[in-house]
Amino acid sequence: MYDPLIEQAIASGQGYPDSYWASVSGEPPVSKDRLTEDLDTDVVIIGAGYTGMSCALHLQRDFNITPVVIEANQTAWGCSGRNAGFILKSTGRKSWTQMQKHWGDPVMRMVYQEAVEGVERVHGFINEGIDCDVQQPGYIRIAHKPNKMRELEAQASLLSSMFGYHVDILSRTQVHQQYMNDENAHGAIRFEDGVGINPLKLAFGYHDLLNKAGVDVYTNTPAVSIEQYGNRYRVITEHANISCDKVVIATNGYTPKGFDSSVANKTLPVLSQIIVTEPLTEAQLQACNFITSNVVMDTRALKYYYRKLPDNRILFGGRGAITGKSADDPYYAERLLQELKRSFPPLADVRYQYRWSGWICMSLDDIPHIAQAEGSKGIFYAMGYCGNGVSFAVQAGKRLADKVAGRAVPDIPLYNRQLVPFPMPAFRRIGQWAYFHYGKFADQFL
């Protein structure tokens, strides 16, 4: 599998992974396949995932700027088409209490408002006619050990006092009787506004909106490099060059090694693995009392997450391999399957039908960064969603468009700070390996 910490280019012409999403989402929207002639335009957006397509839509709609979008393979070939499809009110991995402590109450509240707007923005696009299999609203955060309920109750109290955000507190019995009989759930809190969707269909919907807006998307057109000449830029692709005034890097966890100095050595791509089971029978569902279609995540440092899909399959995900070379090893999918069976013993004979993985993008300070590259007049980027990008990447695309157009954005660390370089970047994977071992220990004993 392509590994962005090792490879300096993404090969074009690659199909989607053998994922459940690719099997049920139909053909991708019509695009302009492979750029073969030089172009001149105002703005080039590199990456046709959620961020890039949102940025393109907002540039065209809000500022009458029609960009050109290029994508190494197909629309949402990266994480936008591989994720679990959880729309959550979140930004990165930093908690609200950490934000309040580090930045103060007013800034924390502004970040929260951006997260709210991100969710609203996604639903606004869906309401334009995107069919992406929106499921029953609700997000359940389960305590994987009894002592974790205290933390969840404190979080619920905090959200209520800070934002007036109502969260239900559920006992183990309530979880088992009203939602699903997960043996590893020792209680939970439930948010009313999380929701599961088909992430690839959502991305196809964004592409359809771009087609209607007259924005060209060139697939199978990987960017090789960015060159500056005078006050302008030239994006070098495999078969043609694009001259432009401004460039947006929207490649997130799929950014090749050393692609551009503005983002080099400033992120850590981390593999997340997902399996999808064969369809469950009614008897299996009843044996697990699997009533809910809410999205579910636990309190582990190395989190597991799952949901029941519209055709009664179970999607189950968690951390995968550390390197791209090991990504397709069936060991990681089998480990997820065994964890699913530990949560639901009646599924002892269930098998998975799909397995795949994808790169999420971690930042050193656990927050996304949407910025104009330091020392640059026309290079912009957004990345570092830390696995929480389905809704916030769309908000990031909006704020990228604002920055490209010269419009003011909220004065918060997500928008006014550059990505932080990793110390000793050659050893990032060693640090990740150490954290995984710590997380395994913490999840069992702390």
Given this model, what pLDDT does residue 163 score?
93
369 and 238 share one domain: yes
Q: Is 241 inside a domain boundary?
A: yes
Which among 416, 408, 418, 415 is positioned nearest to 392, based on CA atoms? 415
Given this model, what pLDDT does residue 446 score?
82
Q: Is 377 inside a domain boundary?
A: yes
379 and 242 share one domain: yes
176 and 207 share one domain: no
Given this model, what pLDDT does residue 171 score?
98
Q: Is 286 inside a domain boundary?
A: no
The full length of the chain comes to: 446
Q: Is 261 inside a domain boundary?
A: yes
Write out the chain's pLDDT in tens, 446 residues: 999 999 999 999 999 999 999 999 999 999 999 999 999 999 999 999 999 999 999 999 999 999 999 999 999 999 999 999 999 999 999 999 899 999 999 999 999 999 999 999 999 999 999 999 999 999 999 999 999 999 999 999 989 999 999 999 999 999 999 999 999 999 999 999 999 999 999 999 999 999 999 999 999 999 999 999 999 999 999 999 999 999 999 999 999 999 999 999 999 999 999 999 999 999 999 999 999 999 999 999 999 999 999 999 999 999 999 999 999 999 999 999 999 999 999 999 999 999 999 999 999 999 999 999 999 999 999 999 999 999 999 999 999 999 999 999 999 999 999 999 999 999 999 999 999 999 999 998 88
Domain with 186 in it: 139-192
Q: Collapsing DSSP states into helix, strand and coil, what is residue 254? A: helix
Measure the N-to-C terminal CA separation of the chain; round to a whole number of Å. Answer: 34
187 and 225 share one domain: no
Strand 139-142 to 295-298 pairing: parallel
**Tokens 């480990």 belong to residue:** 335
Given this model, what pLDDT does residue 8 score?
95
431 and 368 share one domain: yes
CA–CA dist 158, 153 (Å, integer): 9
Q: Collapsing DSSP states into helix, strand and coil, what is residue 252? A: helix
Q: How far is CA 193 from CA 34, 119, 354, 439, in A?
A: 39, 9, 28, 28
204 and 182 share one domain: no
Q: Is 11 inside a domain boundary?
A: no
183 and 210 share one domain: no
On the 0-12 / 13-18 / 19+ scale of CB atoms within 10 A, 224 is middle
Give the count of domains, the chain. Answer: 2
Q: Which of 130, 159, 192 is the last residue of a domain?
A: 192
Given this model, what pLDDT does residue 438 score?
94
163 and 219 share one domain: no
Q: Is 73 inside a domain boundary?
A: yes
Given this model, what pLDDT does residue 24 score?
98
251 and 370 share one domain: yes
369 and 428 share one domain: yes
**Tokens 């087609």 belong to residue:** 211
Q: Which of 168, 192, 216 is the last residue of a domain?
A: 192
CB 404 within 8 A of CB 43: yes
Q: Is 242 inside a domain boundary?
A: yes
Which among 277, 278, 251 is positioned nearest to 262, based on CA atoms? 251
Which among 410, 419, 406 is positioned nearest to 42, based on CA atoms? 406
Q: Is 7 inside a domain boundary?
A: no
213 and 171 share one domain: no
219 and 261 share one domain: yes
Q: Which of 192, 209, 225 is the last residue of a domain?
A: 192
CA–CA dist 358, 253 (Å, integer): 9
**Tokens 């053998």 belong to residue:** 18
Question: What CATH number is given to the structural domain containing 53?
Answer: 3.50.50.60
